[in-house]
Structure 1
């Protein structure tokens, strides 16, 4: 599973939506269940899935699928 598919799968599970509606252009406000608690759950799942650690500033910058992908890329490019 590539990075995009893995991120889409994580978001789909946490936000309880079909994976088909999660895409590169999906934003926080597209998901009814994307609240502060699920934001934290999302961060923890992303960190676990990719073996990375995000700082508080980065966590607060996540507003879209694209934001997540950029952070994953940044932290896995070592």
Structure 2
């Protein structure tokens, strides 16, 4: 797996943690939150192509909730720029 030098900020990581614990969060929000948290620890995790695609579509969707766009933005910003 490719290494990633970028990390999720503590603010977004906190949002991701709250999202994972929320009963009202959508499946997409929880997937994005999980990906963002995976990239928060400094382990060099790389965003996968599937979640990158889902995050990109969420950002393009004007109906996406602000928390969805926050998490999606973090995930996409840490994606593989060669894709």
Q: TM-score, normalised by structure 1?
A: 0.29
Q: TM-score, normalised by structure 2?
A: 0.29
Give the number of the structure whose residues are more often helix, by fraction.
1
